[in-house]
Amino acid sequence: MAARARVNGLALYYEIVGEGDPLVLVHGSWVDHETWQRVVPLLARSFRVLVYDRRGHSRSERPPGQGGRRQDEDDLASLIELLGAPAHVAANSFGASTALGLATRRPELLRTLTAHEPPLMGIVDDGDRELRPVLQAMEAALDGVLAALRAGEDREGARRFVDEVVIGPGAWERLPERERALLTANASTFADEHGDPDWARLDLARLSAFPGPALLTFGSESPPWFPVIVGKLATALDGRARIRTLPGDGHVPHLTHPDRYAADLTAFIRSIGVRPVAGG
């Protein structure tokens, strides 16, 4: 089922597939609900899965003016209530930051939380000396991306993000044109996200009240700040979170190893005693 919901003053595009316990998938920056297309059929064997385009992305309405992550959190809360709260939530990148932010404010909405590599650089201590050079290099690359976007050069900003932040030199040219067009079309949302002064922060004290359970993951091929971020989140959750390193993966494991991603997520939910629909 594909539809649009009027949520917090905006029309958000969403799709619901499958039967069973409710599961919401939250995408990261630049992309849209189709980033989950390789895992949705697998997860829909066991769950009622909702995917959606976050505000400003692809088929969802683009709000005027500066927004913030809190608006994304409120949208997620409304969609969980539409699907049937509480729900399992699995999220990637900025979507993971959004889900974690909601967990600090509305923990009763989440049955479980699975978060892969939230870019919460604001919780990394200045004392992490080994990370300082790579963080500074990453921040300089992000500044270049944002400068291009603010100058209206969306395609150049998208190219710099792919080549200088996410994958590496030459990666942009190797992408299919359809993917380059998608990144360019959603580029302005990235600048909007980074205009929020709290985009990289999280209230760890409030997160400590989240009852869990949570699964926190990072890829073995990802930048070194993600294990540090995940470790700090796990410390705040004080034993209610499982940490897993995904071998051979980077920032988007649901694309690189979809079968494993779906199997791991299903196994995690089953392991806590919440049984998916029979036959899953």
- Greater confidence (1 vs 23) lies with 23
When pLDDT is averaged across residues 269-277 and rounded to a whole number, the result is 69
Instruction: Flag the least confident range among 16-30, 131-145, 146-160.
Output: 131-145
The answer for residues whose C-beta is within 8 angstroms of residue 100's C-beta and 6 or more apart is 91, 113, 115, 118, 120, 202, 207, 233
pTM here is 0.93
Q: CATH homologous superfamily for 2-125+200-271?
A: Alpha/Beta hydrolase fold, catalytic domain (3.40.50.1820)
Residue-level pLDDT at 110: 97
Residue-level pLDDT at 125: 72
pLDDT tier, 279 (very low <50, low <70, confident <90, very high otherwise)? very low
When pLDDT is averaged across residues 26-44 and rounded to a whole number, the result is 97
Share of the chain above pLDDT 90, in %: 80
Q: Strands 47-52 and 21-26: what pairing?
A: parallel
Residue-level pLDDT at 277: 44
Residue-level pLDDT at 280: 38
Contact 37, 103 (CB under 8 A): no
Residue ranges of domains in the chain: 2-125+200-271, 132-194
CA distances in angstroms from 36 to 66, 75, 194, 213, 263, listed in the order given: 27, 18, 24, 22, 14
Is the pLDDT at 262 greater than 80, yes or no? yes
Is the pLDDT at 70 greater than 70, yes or no? yes
Is the pLDDT at 85 greater than 90, yes or no? no
For residues 276 and 47, give the distance between their C-alpha atoms in angstroms, rounded to a whole number. 6
Is the pLDDT at 29 greater than 50, yes or no? yes
When pLDDT is averaged across residues 5-19 and rounded to a whole number, the result is 95
pLDDT tier, 278 (very low <50, low <70, confident <90, very high otherwise)? very low
pLDDT tier, 276 (very low <50, low <70, confident <90, very high otherwise)? very low
Share of the chain above pLDDT 70, in %: 95
When pLDDT is averaged across residues 57-64 and rounded to a whole number, the result is 92
- For 191-241, write each residue's pLDDT tens digit: 999 989 999 999 999 999 999 899 999 999 998 889 999 999 999 999 899
